[in-house]
Amino acid sequence: MELQWPLILFTFFMCLSSGILFAQSVLALKGEGRAFQNTSLVASFVAMVVGGIAVFLHLQHWERIFNGFGHITSGITQELIGVVLLFLALLVFFLMARRSEDGSVPAWVAWVGIIVPVIMVAVMGHSYLMEGRPSWNTPMLIVYYLINAALMGSLTVLIIAAAKKQDGDFELLKKIVFISAILQLVALAVYAMVLGASVGTYADHGTYFDPTLPDIPKVEPAAVIGSLFTGSCALAFWGGAIVVGGILPICLSFLLNKAKDAGKTMTYACASLVCTAIGGLVWRGLLYVVALTIFAIFLH
Amino acid sequence: MANYAIITDLNRCTGCLACTVACKAINGVDVGSFWIKTLRIGPNPIEGGSGQYPDVEMYFLPVQCQHCEHPECVKVCPTEASHIREDGTIQIDKSKCIGCQFCVMACPYGVRYLNPEERVVEKCTLCEQRISQGDLPQCVQQCGARARFFGDLDKGVDNFEAPAHPDDPGTQYDEMIKTRVKLKDYVEPYKPTDIHHLKNAGNDPKLMYLLREGRKWRE
Ligand code: SF4
Ligand code: SF4
């Protein structure tokens, strides 16, 4: 399938938005990060708005959403509910922090800020699980989004902390970054193996011919998926998703864990976030390249 | 009310593309878009053969929306623009469609597409405008090999109907299309195991393909 940039950007920015609230709420649970929590909440909100605008660009007739949007079995409806919940979680965090004199929030607010982003990201991943598209129809999609969100969110919160010259050690957040960076690479590897193993699930017609597309070569699922590893997409996969998006964030997160001052934290966290973002966008794009339907030979 | 579907006898289909063309003409399907395509499957080596001509076989496969029992397109549609009609067909209410194209992604057969002018999704309607008047879908009516039969699954596939070819040399077109023959009475004998469906991805496609023993159904 062609790359659907609005959807790629939506999932990217929703992971970022959810991850930031998640990371800030983890800090809140430990009573840390109050000096910059509002900046984090704003950052999360901005990412949500950017993601929302991106997804609206995908709709051809968004004005018709008032004609009866809301069929509950639809992933889009579920995502919308998730976005509303995420917004409410942000709002509650903001209001509760304002109400207290020291900017602290009750533990339940922090827990809401941890759980709601997880639900949001899981629901978002779930909406792409379609039996007709084996490359997407795997829980690894949800697992990948969750880890990616935790990593990008924690890095962003560390960057905000460093920008506000908060020298605190934020041990826990740095650990989350390091562990998620490792898990992300593992998830990518497992997902790639799942893709490789899915080749046999497509309808196999042997030789076929579509008289309406005489100049289009035969669609071979094994070749399309194989192109990730050894073909035309290999550079994007190995270079973009694995090295830049998977391995470099681990190395940089390792250095980040050693960083003692805000300056170094800033440098490593920024570098790691940029790499994760590049890798995340590349991987999301590649998932469209390999998103064939089980009956892949009726093309428009 | 009913549960309409089509069965195509692949031992009869000659790949003449009449269904493909007739559909475009009656439904105004744009150049470059198709509600039904006639694909050629093969030539593929016959099992146990030499692997070379003449040990090969092939068939033609007219593919359109399969009007599934559990349509994924309906499940993922946020506006219920895609819906199951009382007659069992899957339809799109274009005035409700927001063009999110999730149905396009969810359909296992790639038969939906975004109409770039109207910016809504479309696909085969099983000629809703015709079948609601008691007529046959145009692809069934115009089938060049009398391989396609339309009917109500609740009444059994044996009773699916097509217009008969005129025995009488003088029969005019208008008269001919009013005649009806039943699948069971018209085509060569078949067994229940000769009836196939496109690969199922939990959507339970309803359209059927008849390919008798001796020729391998490929999915
Ligand atoms: S074939 Fe595709 S478009 Fe038609 S009902 Fe089934 S899932 Fe929907
Ligand atoms: S494109 Fe239209 S018919 Fe398809 S899922 Fe979206 S709203 Fe429903």
Are the C-beta atoms of residues A259 and A268 closer than 8 Å to each other?
yes
Sort A262 into a burial class: Cβ within 10 Å, 0-12 / 13-18 / 19+.
Answer: middle
What is the b/e burial string over B127-161, where b = at least 16 CB atoms within 10 angstroms of the residue's CB?
bbebbeeeebbbbbbbbbbbbbbbbbbeeebeebb
3-state secondary structure chain B: CCCEEEEEECCCCCCCCHHHHHHHHHHCCCCCCCCEEEEEEEEEECCCCCCCCCCEEEEEEEEECCCCCCCHHHHHCCCCCEEECCCCCEEECCCCCCCCCHHHHHCCCCCCEEECCCCEEECCCCCHHHHCCCCCCHHHHCCCCCCEEEEEHHHCHHHCEECCCCCCCCCCHHHHCCCCEEHHHHCCCCCHHHEECCCCCCCCCCCEEECCCCCCCCC
pLDDT band at A167 (very low <50, low <70, confident <90, very high): low
Q: What dihedral do alpha carbons B218, A221, A6, A65 form, nearest 10°?
A: 10
Residue A168 has pLDDT above 90, yes or no: no
Residues contacting residue B30 through CB under 8 Å, at least 6 positions apart: B115, B117
Quick one: which H or E segment has residue A209? strand A208-209
| pLDDT for position B59 | 98
Amino acid letter for position A125:
G
Q: Is A56 on the interface with B (CB under 8 A)?
A: no
What part of B 66-105 touches A (C-beta under 8 Å)?
72, 75-80, 95-102, 105
Please count the residues of chain A: 300
Averaged pLDDT of chain A: 95
Structure-block tokens of residue B200: 């199922």
Report how far apart, in Å, the C-alpha atoms of A240 and of each of A2, A181, A275 are. Answer: 19, 15, 9
Report how far apart, in Å, the C-alpha atoms of A233 and of each of A12, A105, A116, A223, A275 are. Answer: 20, 47, 35, 11, 18
| Local structure of residue A252 (DSSP, 8 states) | H
CATH numeric code, B4-68+125-210: 3.30.70.20
Residue A44 has pLDDT above 80, yes or no: yes
Structure-block tokens of residue B216: 């391998």
Mean pLDDT of B175-199: 95
Which of B39, B199, B201 faces A209 most closely, judged by CB atoms?
Answer: B39
Q: Is A294 on the interface with B (CB under 8 A)?
A: yes
Which pLDDT tens digit goes with each residue over B136-186?
Answer: 999 999 998 999 999 999 999 999 999 987 677 788 888 888 899 999 999
Domains of chain A, each with CATH number or no CATH = 5-289 (1.20.1630.10)
Are the C-beta atoms of residues B81 and B96 closer than 8 Å to each other?
yes
Which pLDDT tens digit goes with each residue over A25-40?
Answer: 999 999 999 999 999 9
Residues contacting residue B197 through CB under 8 Å, at least 6 positions apart: B66, B204, B205, B206, B207, B208, B209
Over its C-alpha atoms, chain B yields an Rg (Å, rounded) of 18
Strands B4-9, B208-210: parallel, antiparallel or unpaired by DSSP? parallel
Quick one: which H or E segment has residue A52? helix A37-58
CB pair distance less than 8 Å for B95 and A67? yes
Which pLDDT tens digit goes with each residue over A70-125?
Answer: 899 999 999 999 999 999 999 999 999 999 989 999 999 999 999 999 999 999 99
B100 lines ligand 2 (CB under 6 A): yes
B92 lines ligand 2 (CB under 6 A): yes
User: Rounded to whole angstroms, how far apart are CA atoms A144 and A133?
Assistant: 17
Q: What are phi and psi of A38, to 5 degrees?
A: -65, -40
| pLDDT for position B176 | 85
Nearest ligand to the CA atom of B119: 2
pLDDT band at B202 (very low <50, low <70, confident <90, very high): very high
pTM (predicted TM-score): 0.95
CB pair distance less than 8 Å for B100 and A71? no
